[in-house]
Structure 1
Amino acid sequence: MKAIRTMGAWIEGGAVRFRVWAPEHDRVEIVTYGEDGEEVTGALPAAPTGGGYFEATAPGLGAGALYKVRIDGAGPFPDPYARAQPLGVHGPSAVDDPSFAWTDAGWKGVALEDLVLYEVHIGTATQEGTFDALIPRLAELRELGITAIEIMPVASFPGERGWGYDGVDLFAPSAAYGGPEGLRRLVDAAHAAGLGVILDCVYNHFGPDGNYLRAYTKRYFTERHKTPWGDAVNYDGEGAEQVRALAISNAEMWIRDFHIDGLRLDATHAILDDTAPHILREIAERARAAGGGRRVVVIAEDSLNDTRLVTPPEQGGHGLDGVWADDFHHELRVLFAGDRDGYFEDHRGTAEDIAATIRKGWLYEGQVSKHAGKPRGTPAEPVPPPCFVHCIQNHDQIGNRALGDRLGAAVSPAAFRTMSALLLITPYTPLLFMGQEWNARTPFQYFTDHDAELGRLVTEGRRREFQYFTSFSGAEVPDPQDPRTFQRSKLDWSERQRPEHAGVLAWYRELLGLRAAHPALRRRGRGDFSAEAISPDAVRIERRGGEATVIALVALRGALDVDLGRPEARALAFSEEPRFGGAAQRVPLERGRAAFEGPAVLIVEVPRS
């Protein structure tokens, strides 16, 4: 069977054309609705064209027309390929006109080596919770040193509140955020501000609420593979050609029609495919081709430390550009916050392990994981450092805690500044979670807006999930369905002006400014840096390039006293300076000797010898 990528509804020659895939069915009708989405205004038979496809043309319809699909008399159902769901995932689909007055003709994207990612949840980044409301914040993010925003999933999900990972209409940006037009405005404004836009896409499962795919055909899923969400998406069984085309054409659409600069692929270890080429390779290749000469990056979220993801296809890999490398986060979290539950049991948080993680990109390269009970990881050395995405917090590491509390609630301000420096002084691609740059205190909790019965099950499951975690014993897990859980998670941008937050913001400006401007910090190659434990409680990171070397002396805890043997060494920044929220009376560097208490970081420059 040859797959067809153009599906759903589109405007062509003064009419709307429809194409539906329903291979086990004989009769398909397009049911049209009035503006209220309730009144049925017509039913148009769709003609079979072979291979399970049905097509229809409606001369009198245009952009904004509402419709559903009736299949063998059942339904009607929303269109899984719809470009808009203005009345929610259970309501009629809408015809979208992708034409837009773009102003970004000169935009060329962001190179992987220059990425500084800023993860954003549209619904909680502003009080309004829309694409348009984020636009006024873009210029200050770029001024800070961010080069791309990474938007959590926007594909239509049930209700008005959600993280987006339960999306069901992959082609339709959520109406709660402003729909397709709002997303286009945000992307265009981001490019005008000098920011790229990376979009989080979920191709490993579909949410349960509003998922009508099985009404069209059972071939979208397979029992051959299982995932944490049940039957896997069918990328390698009967009918897989069209299922693969759904994911590939969705990736192409974001790049082509919305000018998105790259994709973050959720939980790629659960995208199961036994065929060649792997669906991940095809998604990456087609996404780049859709960019039309613009730089497009494709990044995997994956917990397996598998270098195949970023190995070129000619060397047997999938050819993605980057991969999340969580060992860095875990090592720092164990040391500074004392976490031990779950996968944290695999990490010691020692200076030796932290240095090794920084040298390599990730720590596990095939060692046996106590948590998984089997070997984990592959050697990191062949992979260029920018391919690894590091963070000290992200939506999962905050929101999947019982209370959704941020890193700043678990570590001291000095430790937070130290962890931030470790993130930004290395050659890896850093990711910040929104508000991190001022150590925001607002939580990011898990919130949903399901119907009453499914919502009850989600709430019960959420509370059951944490009952055996010692770190959350006795905690009352917030109800995901309660609107107040969502409201609590909204960023408070006014925090930035308060003294305890303004210093952190200044520290981030300093670090990101150095990262962008200093020749040694702009070099990202394997041979351009080193990291070593210089004591059980301290790490030294060295970056080389240009006429000077940058050295970061990191006191993880306790006293550090080290003589660099370079009396001409010059301090660039010290994390405990008052301007960054610390209380140091002076920068602790005298004729090449540094002595200070941790947690703290001293960044110095020495001429290349």
Structure 2
Amino acid sequence: MLDVSHESASAHPSAMPRFGAWKEGEKAVFRIWAPAVAQLAIEIDGNAPAPMAPLADGWHEYRAERPFGTRYRYRLPDGTFVPDPASRRQEGGVHGESVLVSPDDYAWRSTDWRGRPWRETILYELHAGLLGGFAGVERELPRLADLGITAIELMPIADFPGSRNWGYDGVLQFAPAAAYGTAAELKRLIDRAHELRLSVLLDVVFNHFGPDGCYLHTHSPEFFKAGSQTPWGAGIDFDRPEVRGFYRACALQWLDEFRFDGLRFDAVHAIPSTEFLLELERDIRAALPKERHIHLIVENEDNDVDLLGAYDAQWNDDFHHAIHVLLTGETRTYYGSFAPEPLGHLARILESGFAFQGQVAPSRGRSRGKPSGHLAPSRFVNCLQNHDQIGNRLFGERLLALTGPRRVKVAAALLLLNPQIPMLFMGEEHGSRTPFYYFTDHNEELAQAVREGRKREFKHEDHGGDPLALDPNAPETFEASRPQAGDDADEWLALYRELINVRRSLIVPDLDDCRSNGAEPLGAQALTAGWRLGARKLVLLANFGDEPVETALPAGRPIFSLGPVAVAADAVTLDGPSFLAILSD
């Protein structure tokens, strides 16, 4: 097991004292950074609290002979009991007692797994709770592997209050959510995935804590930067070495002990320290064996390409927004930035990565992004839908509830056969029309605040009498979000299987040597895009509209077609929603 920390403190996060509780021989060590408190006490297994030894720089420590399974919590001078902020397991919820756990509580079977190269990635984002917890996700793995998925990405699993949550309200970043299962069950899920040659990535939230159950403010207010706020809570002080060390240790725990193959860092535009993000990437790669394929992905509204010299890729919301506007005609909120010319934006994305590379985004009223054309296509993760883009809608509609299936199929072909990295959202592969709502399980006071906030956010929309749209806290809202296969599931599965097979056999092998040959609109609702794949050339033609589009026939052989496509000697006609992929040897 990798030692993710050292005993002597310095300014560098890799030299921070260790966080949490662990065993050293027969003795258990309990350590917490609480610089605002002069004297802490620890309660163990319900016994009378014992004083902890104050250490330098705001650290406190207690050592005693205790077995794994020991329950503990800290007592502040005013009598308040708080969990360990680096707790690895809780009893009684996030407000309850922390538990001393062994990192070696599972016997791994897939000991020779080193991961898969990034170029092979076909991502599948999922919510563990909706699929039945860690055990439920494990049951889905053979089906996904058979379809051709190469990597699953779990929405955040850091422990949160209640039993239902998207995961972005997590407050104990080291602890797998008890609502989903045990640490051993999570490891078994990852182990089984590796046996099936599936990589497993985890979405982590390092930019804020949830509104219920975070006690850092009571004993470590220095964890937060005074006067700084994110859209979701107090801003974190990433200038502090202890804070950096906390998140470094957390990231390495998931990658080392749990053997995740990568991390997706949520909303890094809310982390006001590029230095920290670059340092974190370096520390992670330096700490783990070089032969492992570790994939580090960012979500970044700012389209900051400086991070993509280090991180493997970024979620490319621009792709989603452009194609969503093209298919649905929606222009509200951030879609307004793509409304004037969605097809032009989509062509720019396929050619050079981002739609906005320094231009003013109308919905923001300021410039966004930096030039990205020098980056490889594999630096961009595209999707037709994901948890954010479905769940942040009032009714949680999937794309198939907003536009016709023929156009969605053309979009799916473009997603999977262009060289940028594709991602599906759970249920998409079998044509699910089930909504994916925003759901929570907060205490009643906070739940009411969320209801009121949702009413304000969607005050201009008619909720149509749908009670679930305005009550994220209702258990029925969660239950209604479980993905159900559509009546045409077999048709969708066959399509995705064929597209994945084409991508795997004909596009992936040369993806490391891939550059754009340009992209351009063909009329109002069609486009063409091309790439060099090693010594070969790939050309994609897509028509999202009902009007026929005729263009010159590219050199090469068709490797996939969809819809009414007519190929003549030197021309090709896409008559209605249709798609053609041509590869020249």
Q: TM-score, normalised by structure 1?
A: 0.89
- Distance of 2:526 and 2:338 partners within structure 1: 17
Q: Which residue number corresponds to residue 54 of structure 2?
A: 48
Choose 142-151 or 223-232, whichever is displaced more. 223-232
1:111 aligns with 2:111: no
Contact 1:5 1:249 in 2 (8 A): no
In structure 2, what residue type is equivalent to 1:490? R
Q: Which residue number corresponds to residue 579 of structure 2?
A: 601
- Give deviations 1:41-79, integer Å, cap 9, x for gaps: 3433211122211111121x2222111111225222111
Q: Which residue number corresponds to residue 304 of structure 2?
A: 306
Structure 2 alignment gaps of length 5 or more: 1-8
Q: Which residue number corresponds to residue 334 of structure 1?
A: 325
1:573 to 535, 560, 563: 560
* CA deviation after TM superposition for structure 1 residue 588, in Å: 3.2
- Distance of 2:562 and 2:429 partners within structure 1: 14
Contact 1:300 1:322 in 2 (8 A): yes
- Distance of 2:496 and 2:84 partners within structure 1: 45
- Give deviations 1:550-597, integer Å, cap 9, x for gaps: 43221121333435456x854433223xxxxxxx6xx63344543342
- 1:8-47 aligned at under 5 Å gives the runs 8-33=20-45, 40-47=46-53
Choose 288-297 or 419-428, whichever is displaced more. 288-297
Choose 136-145 or 300-309, whichever is displaced more. 136-145
Q: Which residue number corresponds to residue 581 of structure 1?
A: none
* CA deviation after TM superposition for structure 1 residue 366, in Å: 1.0
Contact 1:520 1:546 in 2 (8 A): no
Closer/same/farther in 2, CA of residues 151 and 18 from structure 1, 3 Å limit: same
Q: Which residue number corresponds to residue 349 of structure 2?
A: 357
Contact 1:571 1:589 in 2 (8 A): no
Choose 129-138 or 256-265, whichever is displaced more. 129-138
- 1:491-570 aligned at under 5 Å gives the runs 491-492=483-484, 495=485, 498=487, 500-519=488-507, 522-527=510-515, 529-545=517-533, 549-562=537-550, 564-565=552-553, 570=557
- Distance of 1:103 and 1:456 partners within structure 2: 46
Closer/same/farther in 2, CA of residues 546 and 253 from structure 1, 3 Å limit: closer
* CA deviation after TM superposition for structure 1 residue 525, in Å: 4.3
* CA deviation after TM superposition for structure 1 residue 517, in Å: 0.3
* CA deviation after TM superposition for structure 1 residue 475, in Å: 6.5
Q: TM-score, normalised by structure 2?
A: 0.92
Structure 1 alignment gaps of length 5 or more: 34-39, 312-318, 577-583
Closer/same/farther in 2, CA of residues 5 and 398 from structure 1, 3 Å limit: farther
1:436 to 407, 428, 432: 428
- Give deviations 1:91-125, integer Å, cap 9, x for gaps: 1011111102112222112222222111111011x
Choose 283-292 or 299-308, whichever is displaced more. 283-292
Choose 289-298 or 555-564, whichever is displaced more. 555-564
- Give deviations 1:397-417, integer Å, cap 9, x for gaps: 000000111111001000110
- Distance of 2:343 and 2:57 partners within structure 1: 60
3-state DSSP class of the match of 1:401? coil
Q: Which residue number corresponds to residue 316 of structure 1?
A: none
3-state DSSP class of the match of 1:225? strand
Q: Which residue number corresponds to residue 222 of structure 1?
A: 225
1:189 aligns with 2:186: no
1:77 to 79, 82, 85: 82
- Distance of 2:41 and 2:534 partners within structure 1: 67
- Give deviations 1:295-334, integer Å, cap 9, x for gaps: 21211101111111112xxxxxxx2221122111111111
Choose 436-445 or 395-404, whichever is displaced more. 436-445
- Distance of 1:446 and 1:309 partners within structure 2: 30
* CA deviation after TM superposition for structure 1 residue 81, in Å: 0.7
1:409 to 382, 391, 401: 401
- Distance of 2:17 and 2:518 partners within structure 1: 47
Q: Which residue number corresponds to residue 6 of structure 2?
A: none
In structure 1, what residue type is equivalent to 2:331? R
- Distance of 1:465 and 1:534 partners within structure 2: 38
State percent identity of aligned pairs.
Answer: 38
Closer/same/farther in 2, CA of residues 411 and 78 from structure 1, 3 Å limit: same
- Distance of 1:502 and 1:512 partners within structure 2: 15
- 1:172-211 aligned at under 5 Å gives the runs 172-211=175-214
Closer/same/farther in 2, CA of residues 561 and 73 from structure 1, 3 Å limit: closer
Closer/same/farther in 2, CA of residues 464 and 547 from structure 1, 3 Å limit: same
Contact 2:522 2:549 in 1 (8 A): no
Contact 2:169 2:209 in 1 (8 A): yes
- Give deviations 1:142-201, integer Å, cap 9, x for gaps: 222211111110000010000010100000000101132221111111111101111111
Equivalenced residue count is: 569
In structure 2, what residue type is equivalent to 1:384? A
3-state DSSP class of the match of 2:545? strand
Closer/same/farther in 2, CA of residues 369 and 32 from structure 1, 3 Å limit: same
Choose 148-157 or 111-120, whichever is displaced more. 111-120
3-state DSSP class of the match of 2:394? coil
Closer/same/farther in 2, CA of residues 163 and 139 from structure 1, 3 Å limit: same
3-state DSSP class of the match of 1:88? coil
- Distance of 1:25 and 1:9 partners within structure 2: 19
Contact 1:424 1:430 in 2 (8 A): yes
Choose 165-174 or 476-485, whichever is displaced more. 476-485
Closer/same/farther in 2, CA of residues 520 and 214 from structure 1, 3 Å limit: closer
1:122 aligns with 2:122: no
* CA deviation after TM superposition for structure 1 residue 205, in Å: 0.5
- Give deviations 1:429-481, integer Å, cap 9, x for gaps: 111111111221111101101111111101111121111358x7887524111
Q: Which residue number corresponds to residue 5 of structure 2?
A: none
In structure 1, what residue type is equivalent to 2:559? L
CA-atom RMSD, angstroms? Answer: 2.1
- 1:432-471 aligned at under 5 Å gives the runs 432-468=424-460
